[in-house]
Structure formats: structure tokens, C-alpha cells
Chain A
Amino acid sequence: MPLEATMMIIDNSEYMRNGDYQPTRFDAQADAVNVIFQTKIDSNPENTVGIMSMANKGPEVLVTHSKDLGQVLQAIHATSSKVGGQIEIPTAIAIAQLALKHRENKNLRQRIIVFVGSPLEGAAADEKGMVKLAKKLKKNNIAVDIVCFGDGVEEPGADGKSVLKSFIESVNSGDNSHLLAVPPGPNLLSDALISSPILSADRTSSIPAELGGSGGDAGASGSGGGNQFEFGVDPSLDPELAMALRMSMEEAQAREAREQAGSSSTPQAAASGTSSGSVATVAPAAPVNLIDAEDEELKRALALSKEEDVDMDAQPASEARTAAAGDAAMDEDDDEEAQIARAIEMSMKQNEESSK
């Protein structure tokens, strides 16, 4: 469960007025911010999230480390009337770093999430400078995720590299930083985020890996839709549901396996045919064993009583009588009569002794 302080940098440049994402770029971004905030706060109660804008009159911190959704919503609402200007990624990241540095709980790891919906210009387009900044962030143990959409989606250069891609590669340490490009389309920006590696660590942290909790790779295939998933549901979209489905499947498999094992051990049952019959055969097996055990005990009791009978002659007569009575009570029908006969014989003997 990542313990993190996150700073989100939102884009509020003129480019955000574009309507190629539903309903506008800015509102799609606001929705995505909401989703990230909720996911981060839900994944660990100690997590904090801050938010800042990076265009208009210059980067501005709107909310520092908070757990209050209201503050974030208010900040976004206030920013929606201040859309304008151009983004300054390097300055914004430097400010976010400063804001993160003064977090209250030093145990929180630092993360910056940058939304880029405008083309890179000026210092942000300078790959060398950006890589240098990335190295600095990495040195200070800060992870960076970049979500680019709209004009922020870069055309890769001749070598297949783009500025933001090399930036993420330089800042990445232990796969903690990601670049997500969301081209315009019918899918929501927030849906693409949910199934992306940016949030998968937070969403699946409470679910064990063998139940599909690993995330990451599943997210890569996300947002495509369709029915290529195991249960017709994208496990990264709803991890809890996926876990429940998988658990119920595993239980059913285990039950089938048990039934099969049961039917193979009792061949008569297999002959009877139906699988429901095999369940029934398991039950009688236990009583049979019980009866065996009872017989065993009975035999032992009998043997014991017989031994005592042998010893009885040496015992004082009164004790012998009670012992014999006990024996009689304990024994079962087959030699009950013999016992009674012996008891009568003994009591007679005793009578004779007492009369002497």
C-alpha cells in the first residue's frame, strides 16, 4: 500500500477550452483529478493530495496537502474561470517539489502527477533541460507521473523518443513513474486513468496478487473495451468484483475436484453413474467406519469382562458379585445368558460359603 503525498499539477491553458474530450478538456481533467484524489485517499488513510495549476499568470498552488475532497473541488471550480495563458512545466514541477518537501508527515513518499493538454513550448520542449530536472527529482526521491492528452500527446521524434518520454525514463526509479497518453475518443479520461499503471498500485493494493491484485500489466490492455477478459469484466476496472468472481470460481473448482476425488475412491459409486450420486456415497462411508469402531470397542469390553471373570475367583465374594453384575450389564446379547448363568452360579457359591 503506497504511503504517498501527491501533488497534482493541472493544465489551465487556453488549449483546455477544446471540446475533443467530453465535455471539454478542462472538465475531463477535473473528473480525472477527482478520480485520482479518491483513489489516493482510499488506498491509505494517511495519504495526502495537493493541487496546483500551471498556466494563466504562472504556476499557482491551489491546495496543499489535504484529505478533503471539498477543497480540491473548490480549487478546480475557481480555476475553471481562470483558463488562459500557457503552461510552464519546469517551473510548476519545481514549485510542486517545494510544496511536497514541506509535507507534515516525512514518512510519505513524494509524487507529482502532471496533466499536459498543451503542446510543449519553451523550456519544457528542451529535452536536455528536462532530463536534468528529472535527474534532480530522482535524486530527491520524487516519483512523477505524466498524463498527456489533446495537444499534449507528442509525436515521437525520428528515434521514437519524445521529451516527456525521456523525462519519465530519467526520473523512473523502480518503476515508480509512468507516462500515460490518452488520445481523444469516446472513452473518458478518468476511465483511461483508472485502468492505467498510474493508479493500479493504489487500487489493487488491498487484493492479494494471486487473485489478480498485481495490476500493472492488466492496465496496459485497458480502455480497449470488448470481451477479452476472463469474466467479461476488466479486472483492473473493478478489482473487488474480479476478486469475488475469481474466488467463487476457485471454490467451485475445489468442490468439483473434491467430488471427483470422492467418486474415484469409491468405485461402486462411480458405477451408479450420476455425479449427484457420488456426493451421497461419501456420507454412508463414515457410518460404516463408525460401526467398525463400535464393534472393536465391544470386543475389547468383552475381553476385559472375561479377564475379570477369570480373576474373580481370587476376589472377595461380595466384590465379585458386583463385578459380575457390572459385567452382565456391559455385555451384549450373544453371551448374556452365559453371564447370567455364571452370576447365579457365583451367588449360589457365595450362599454356600456364608452358610458354612
Chain B
Amino acid sequence: MSTDESNAEVSLLQHLDLRQINCLNEAEHHTLKGIVESKNQNATGAYLLSDADEQLLLNIPFNQSVKVRAISIRSSSPEQAPKSIKILINRPALGFEDVEDADEPTVAQSLELSPEDVQEGKVLALRYVRFQAVNSLHIFVASNQGGGDETRIDAVDIFGTTVETTKSLSGLSKQEE
């Protein structure tokens, strides 16, 4: 991990592509869209809840390439908070069967969240080198802290930088022949 983490910690939520965002196994009225719609860390009462079982698959596309440095996941219910998660990048056609048995390096990173991590929504640093050209981020929640059938997430935040693109073409000039 680099030491200059703090200077580039910008929330990437404002670069979300809201139309493409989706989440598998979300409950009908507690969707992922509900907690990221404001493009800020969720402060409303809305939360994301799993439906058939405890697993969730959050598909978070960005409207440009980004570098992801850290994420934070907050859940106000200690029992229903996510525990083991797997993070993948740039896999738009992802299903549960693809990720259930997958391990690093197929997934970009696997994480075990402690109860404190999720309760306060601690910022968790990721392996920066593996998240260099992220067009879409996929977070697979495999289990929750309590082992019950419902997983609840109150807020998600993603930190990083946008990939530098050519901002101005004025520096370019026609080559002399």
C-alpha cells in the first residue's frame, strides 16, 4: 500500500452509471439503486437487503475508467452485515455460479470483514495495483456475520481516482516534415 493514500481519496460514487447499476438477489423494495442514487454516501433510511438467501452480487458500473483505492461498506444491523466478500472488476455478465467457487486471482480480491469494519463503515484499502482500469466493479457478498438468510447493507462508498485522460489537445502540434 502506498503512503500517499489520503491525498487521492475521492469518492467515486459521482462517476456511477446509474442506469446500468444492478444487484442480483436484492429484495424488491430494498435495492442497491436506493442506496447509491444520491451519488453520495447514503444518509437516507434506505438500505439494501438480500432476498432468497444471504448472498448478494452488486454490479457497479462507472461512466469512465477509474482506479479504485479503497471501499467502505456500512451496515447498521450487526447480525446481517456482510462478512466475506469478493471483489471483481470488468465482468459485466456475472452470475452467482461464476463467483461462488472463484478465488484469487480470478477475483481481484477476497476480503473478510470484521464486525467493526462494517458497523462504522471503515475505509478498507484494496490492492491498488489490481484496480487500475476499472469500468465496472462487482462486489460479491458470500456470507454475513450472523449466518442468517438476510444480508443488509446500508451504505457503500468507493474511493479512488479517475484515470487521467487527455484533457487538452493544445499541447499537440503538427509534426514538421
Cα of A140 to Cα of B28 in the assembled complex, Å: 13
Residues of B within 8 A of A107 (CB): 19-20
Residues of A within 8 A of B52 (CB): 135, 138-139
Cα of A292 to Cα of B28 in the assembled complex, Å: 64
Residues of B within 8 A of A135 (CB): 52-53
Contact assessment for B28 and A101 in the assembled complex, using a CB-CB cutoff below 8 Å: no
Residues of B within 8 A of A139 (CB): 24-25, 51-53, 55, 96
Return the CB mask of A134-148 against B: 1 if under 8 Å, else 0: 011011110000000
Q: Which of B19, B20, B92, B95 contacts A140 (CB 8 A)?
A: B95
Residues of A within 8 A of B28 (CB): 173-174
Cα of A102 to Cα of B52 in the assembled complex, Å: 23
Cβ of A299 under 8 Å from chain B: no
How many residues of chain B have a CB within 8 Å of chain A? 14
Q: In chain B, residues 31-57, which have Cβ atoms closer than 8 Å to a Cβ of chain A?
A: 51-53, 55
A-B contact count (CB 8 A): 32
Cβ of A258 under 8 Å from chain B: no
Contact assessment for B92 and A106 in the assembled complex, using a CB-CB cutoff below 8 Å: yes
Q: Which of A106, A136, A138 contacts B51 (CB 8 A)?
A: A138
Minimum CB–CB distance for B78 against chain A, Å: 24
Interface of A is mostly: loop
Contact assessment for A101 and B55 in the assembled complex, using a CB-CB cutoff below 8 Å: no
Return the CB mask of B56-81 against A: 1 if under 8 Å, else 0: 00000000000000000000000000
Which bracket fits the contact residues of A?
Answer: 10 to 19
Contact assessment for A106 and B20 in the assembled complex, using a CB-CB cutoff below 8 Å: yes
Cβ of B93 under 8 Å from chain A: yes
Cα of A106 to Cα of B95 in the assembled complex, Å: 12
Cα of A225 to Cα of B120 in the assembled complex, Å: 62
Minimum CB–CB distance for A94 against chain B, Å: 10
Closest B residue by C-beta to A175: B28
- Could you say which of A107, A139, A141 has the most chain B C-beta atoms within 10 Å of its C-beta? A139
Closest A residue by C-beta to B19: A107
Return the CB mask of B129-145 against A: 1 if under 8 Å, else 0: 00000000000000000
Contact assessment for A101 and B95 in the assembled complex, using a CB-CB cutoff below 8 Å: yes
- Could you say which of B24, B51, B52 has the most chain A C-beta atoms within 10 Å of its C-beta? B52
Contact assessment for A141 and B19 in the assembled complex, using a CB-CB cutoff below 8 Å: no
Given A138-B51, A139-B55, decide whether A106 and B93 contact each other with a Cβ distance below 8 A.
Answer: yes
10 closest Cβ pairs, A-B complex: A139-B25, A139-B52, A174-B28, A135-B52, A138-B52, A141-B24, A140-B95, A106-B92, A101-B95, A101-B93
19 A-B interface contacts by CB (under 8 A): A101-B93, A101-B95, A102-B93, A106-B20, A106-B22, A106-B92, A106-B93, A107-B20, A136-B96, A138-B51, A139-B24, A139-B52, A139-B53, A140-B24, A140-B25, A140-B96, A141-B24, A141-B25, A174-B28
A residues in contact (CB < 8 Å) with B: 101-102, 106-107, 135-136, 138-141, 173-174
